[in-house]
Amino acid sequence: MKKVLSKDNAVDSAPWWKYGHVWLIISGPVAVIIAGFITAYIAMNGADPVIDENYYQNGLEINEKLRAEKKNMAPAQAARNHAATPDEDLPPLKP
């Protein structure tokens, strides 16, 4: 190590790579660059799933199935709501 003289006193000087804070500062951008290369590798070598040619028609069929299931649940929902109705609000029972 060299002694560098300043106006006030002598200061020890070392090469830049021997200071830990320099490596701390450099490590952030280096980590980002490495992550970028890893991401590029995954993007280039990973196969995307094949989309069905009739994806729109399949989506419409799924929506129809969901509507049919909702219609099937209608009586159960009405009974569940009826069970929570107070007695005074019920319609009169027919003998």
Q: CA-CA-CA-CA torsion for 31, 36, 42, 48, nearest 10 degrees?
A: 140
In a domain, 43, yes or no: yes
In a domain, 54, yes or no: yes
In a domain, 90, yes or no: no
In a domain, 88, yes or no: no
pLDDT of residue 7: 61
In a domain, 91, yes or no: no
In a domain, 87, yes or no: no
By residue range, what is the domain housing residue 41?
A: 2-80
pLDDT of residue 86: 65
In a domain, 89, yes or no: no
In a domain, 8, yes or no: yes
Return the ∠ at Cα 83 (arms to 82 and 84), rounded to 5°: 90
pLDDT of residue 83: 61
Residues 13, 39: Cα–Cα separation, whole Å = 40
Domain count for the chain: 1
Q: Tell me: the pLDDT tens digits for 3-57?
A: 555 566 666 788 888 888 999 999 999 999 999 999 999 988 987 777 778 888 8
pLDDT of residue 66: 83
